[in-house]
Structure 1
Amino acid sequence: MNRICLKSIITVLIFSSFWASCTTDVAITGKIKNAPSNYKLYLIRPEQLNEVAASFFGNVIDSATIAEDGSFSFQQFSGNSASGLFEIVLQASGKAPNYLISEDPKTSNYMPVIFQQKSIKIAANFDEFQQSFSIENPSEENKALLQLRDIKNNAYKKYLANKTWQIEDGSQLLEKEEAILNYQKSLMNFADNSEHFLPAMQALRWVSPESDFERIPEFLVRQCQKWQEKNITNSWLNELCEMGSRKNLPVLIGDTFPEAMLPSITKDSLSIIKNLGSKLTIIDLWASWCVPCRKENRKVLVPLYEEYKSKGLGIIAYALESNEKAWKMAAESDGADAWIQLSELQGDDTDFLKKIRIRTIPANFILDKNGIVIAKNIHGEALIDLVKSEIEKE
């Protein structure tokens, strides 16, 4: 064989080897134990931030049949596919590939992964797919996702699993809300401390798949500021910061509470700012039909006001009422007529509620003597402790 031919063969072999490595090394493969024959795996790519962890959104990039030994490989997904955050979904035949089960981590049928143009090998059990999901030699970002998964699972077990609340009559609504908030705080803490943008965004979506951040708007603001300062170049950051825009959020901790002149229960129009307590003010949003609000009136606010009104505590209540008689009767029955009562008597469609951007009650804002919001949505014993601490400060 002459040297020209030998050289050509070597060139072809090298090129073939290079091409093969480009097309076969970059892949997502793995093994799923005990998967029934009617299940497949799907690779979903969320295009927008609000599509992450949301059912029926995201593009189906590839599908994989699970062999009898549990092995699978996404055949169409290759190095030509864009890097980023994907969701691997375990789905039964006949169901939408991008239908995600998120409520209980034990039954969740998907797991987010971050693809960075190199192969990923995974393993999981059919039962408890998300909880058992593992990645061989994961990247730092995928390590963060696995850590986040564990944080979510542990928080769910601690605060939400096997919990029941009497919410039909509203009597345990605040207890349920507190449990959900504690669960969310675990995920928010991860996002606040994460060095990786995409895992932080996954945490944000798990905090509220419904994109309801009315109770925790400060979290959105922190996240926007954090990643802007790190000069992240990702379209999801624009979405995050639009969500975290102050024009879309309730009054924040650290803000000056807005002034408003509102009709009182005695028909006078009163200024909020001119009626602040000399040390502390509770702006309380309630209604006669709100069971936990009525409970808070009687068991928390009345005793607090009686003990601390002479020491600088003020309470200004705003009632989401359309029935003046029901409002007055409820305030008198609860003893809540002892403090300032305001209402536009237009239910929940009022200029004041639009100004402070609140839709959910019970809600409250705790203001210092200058009208600065120092805390929000504090109830029960936590509110009692806060008032006592702030009033008794030197």
Structure 2
Amino acid sequence: MRKILAIFTLALLSFSCQDDKGYAITGSAENIKDGTKIFVSEISNSNRPQRVDTTEVKDGQFELDLEDNDNPKLSFLEVEGQNGNVIFISENKEINFELFKDSLRASRVTGGKENKVLEKYLDHLKAVNKKMTEVRTEVKAAFQNQDTAKINKLRKTEEEILDNDKVFKQKLVKENKDSFVAIMALTDLLRMKSLPSSEIRKMYESLPENVKQNAIARDLGKQLENASATEIGAKAPGFTAPTPEGEELSLKDAMGKVTVIDFWAAWCKPCRVENPKVVKIYNKYHDKGLNIIGVSLDRPGQKERWLKAIEDDGLEWHHVSNLQFWNDPVAQKYGVKAIPATFILDEEGTIVARNLRGDDLEEKIKELLGEE
């Protein structure tokens, strides 16, 4: 299930802002004892929160004058001894916090146009998450009762919630093109695969240039560029990687009349379950022009495990791996975030299908090979 509140774990953004009127923090901290430290953190270039300043509660209040910020950042307020944090966007404005000791996430943030848009966005995400949680609870009960009709109805409800979420984010971006939050919404749309990457890229390109100059916006642009490069109809990006024998093999040298790039790993149970079906297809069509190149996402130091899986599963096609787990450069070039993942190429190296399995994969291969 896709995570609706993915944006809370992004630890991402930094932006430019022309409105410079001074960055300061004030707030109330009812029921939080005097002397309790208040920490301010922001996302650094390493995409990890870094503490930038500290103050203390005095008479139920706190304040902090910070260095003016020409590049507003995704920031967090933490309270000593308390779990959680308060998310906000640093702006050259006075930003006010109303902290609730028993639930920091319920705290309120006011001040600055960015935080106003952020509040609207986070309220929407919380509402969507609540609805999805309720539906999933009902789906679980329907499964237990074997109520197929209700399950189908609830699945449609899920789709409606996600469709409404998609429409909301598109509207937010359209109405707030000069906002930090537009990048957050586009990032979520891409992560959740709510829209084709080509559509998200058009929205991204419509944003003002100053909004796209922060680190996370540039990262999003790179992700969109990679996604466009591996969409159906695009020429498959070339790559070269080490074989089990330690030699270098390129995609170009592994091409057939039809080529399947198969991202997998020895540790991936769904991949191993799928392998016998792929073996059957390969044995049936290899002599007619089908080639497969397996790209393994096995971990560093686990070459023997990779080789044993190849042998145990009878995978007699080409294999490469950098043994870098999810940091594999080929997987990153193809935007692979989950495995198994497949890309089906025609004789010219054009991507004609993605992520087909079993009978669907075989039917596509037969079509490309001109088999009846």
2:57 corresponding residue in structure 1: 65
2:313 corresponding residue in structure 1: 334
Q: TM-score under structure 2 normalisation?
A: 0.54
One-letter amino acid matched to 1:334: D
Match of 1:367 among 313, 319, 344: 344
- Tell me if 1:143 matches 2:140: no
Q: Distance in 2 between matches of 1:125 and 1:113?
A: 19
Over aligned residue pairs, what C-alpha RMSD do you find? 5.8
One-letter amino acid matched to 2:108: S
1:123 corresponding residue in structure 2: 98
Match of 2:65 among 72, 76, 80: 76
Aligned length: 300
Look up the SS of the partner of 1:84 in the other structure: coil
2:150 corresponding residue in structure 1: none
One-letter amino acid matched to 2:49: S
Match of 1:55 among 45, 49, 52: 49
One-letter amino acid matched to 2:88: P
Contact kept? 1:49, 1:201, Cα under 8 Å: no
Cα pair distance change 1:284/1:43, threshold 3 Å = same
Q: Distance in 1 between matches of 2:76 and 2:304?
A: 56
- Tell me if 1:35 matches 2:23: no
2:271 corresponding residue in structure 1: 293
Can you list the C-alpha shifts for 1:240-264, whole angstroms capped at 9, x where unaligned? 3367448995863253114579999
Contact kept? 1:224, 1:237, Cα under 8 Å: no
Can you list the C-alpha shifts for 1:269-326, whole angstroms capped at 9, x where unaligned? 895674143xxx531133445544322313x6457x389969x995613254899997
- Tell me if 1:348 matches 2:326: no
Unpaired runs of at least 5, structure 1: 1-22, 94-100, 102-106, 162-182
Cα pair distance change 1:50/1:252, threshold 3 Å = farther
Once the two structures are aligned, what percentage of the paired residues are identical? 15
Q: Distance in 2 between matches of 1:90 and 1:326?
A: 43
Cα pair distance change 1:219/1:307, threshold 3 Å = same
Q: Distance in 1 between matches of 2:318 and 2:170?
A: 39
Q: TM-score under structure 1 normalisation?
A: 0.52
- CA shift, 1:387, in A, is 4.2
Match of 1:275 among 237, 244, 256: 256
Cα pair distance change 1:367/1:144, threshold 3 Å = farther
2:293 corresponding residue in structure 1: 317
Q: Distance in 2 between matches of 1:120 and 1:301?
A: 57
Q: Distance in 2 between matches of 1:113 and 1:90?
A: 14
1:174 corresponding residue in structure 2: none
Look up the SS of the partner of 1:275 in the other structure: coil
Contact kept? 1:313, 1:391, Cα under 8 Å: no
Can you list the C-alpha shifts for 1:1-59, whole angstroms capped at 9, x where unaligned? xxxxxxxxxxxxxxxxxxxxxx9x9964343343344533344455x5655xx3325x3
Look up the SS of the partner of 1:230 in the other structure: coil
Contact kept? 2:75, 2:87, Cα under 8 Å: yes
One-letter amino acid matched to 1:76: D
Can you list the C-alpha shifts for 1:164-191, whole angstroms capped at 9, x where unaligned? xxxxxxxxxxxxxxxxxxx9xx89x948
2:77 corresponding residue in structure 1: 89
1:256 corresponding residue in structure 2: 235
One-letter amino acid matched to 1:133: S
- CA shift, 1:238, in A, is 5.8
1:14 corresponding residue in structure 2: none
Contact kept? 1:368, 1:374, Cα under 8 Å: yes
2:152 corresponding residue in structure 1: none
Query: Map of 1:377-388 to 2, 5 A cutoff?
Result: 378=355, 383=357, 387=361
Contact kept? 1:41, 1:91, Cα under 8 Å: yes
Q: Distance in 2 between matches of 1:390 and 1:74?
A: 64
